């Protein structure tokens, strides 16, 4: 199961801010396989800023953190309990 809460704030016609908190649990590793017998239980947090460059062009910058009780993330050939990322994306609609 995976409950999720999202907060969204429209700053202007072109700028939108959002934050998300989620919990994910897959005890048997059916959806996400891990190298532990305990499956996966993790919290996720993210925040992003969207900029509507054109009517059909959106740019997003997002920071994410995933935190697990057990070390499940591969980091430089060792397993760790946290995974952080800053990503950017461009979405085009037509």
pLDDT tens profile 39-74: 788 899 999 999 999 999 999 999 999 998 878 777
d(CA 14, CA 39): 41
pTM of the model: 0.78
Residues paired with residue 86 on neighbouring β-strands, in sequence order: 63
Contact 21, 45 (CB under 8 A): yes
What is the DSSP-derived secondary structure letter of residue 11? -
Q: What are the tens digits of pLDDT across the range 15-26? A: 999 999 999 888
User: Residue 11: its pLDDT value, please?
Assistant: 97
Q: What are the tens digits of pLDDT across the range 27-43? A: 776 777 776 777 788 89
Sequence-distant (≥ 6) Cβ neighbours of residue 36 within 8 angstroms: 70, 72
Contact 28, 9 (CB under 8 A): no
């Amino acid at each position: 199961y995976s409950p999720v809460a999202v907060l969204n704030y429209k700053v202007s016609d072109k700028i939108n801010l959002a934050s998300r908190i989620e919990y994910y649990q897959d005890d048997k590793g059916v959806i996400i396989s891990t190298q532990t017998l305990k499956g996966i239980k993790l919290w996720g947090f993210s925040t992003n800023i969207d900029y509507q460059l054109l009517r059909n062009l959106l740019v997003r910058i997002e920071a994410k953190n995933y935190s697990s009780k057990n070390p499940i993330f591969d980091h430089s050939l060792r397993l760790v309990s946290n995974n952080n990322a800053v990503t950017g994306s461009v979405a085009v609609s037509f």
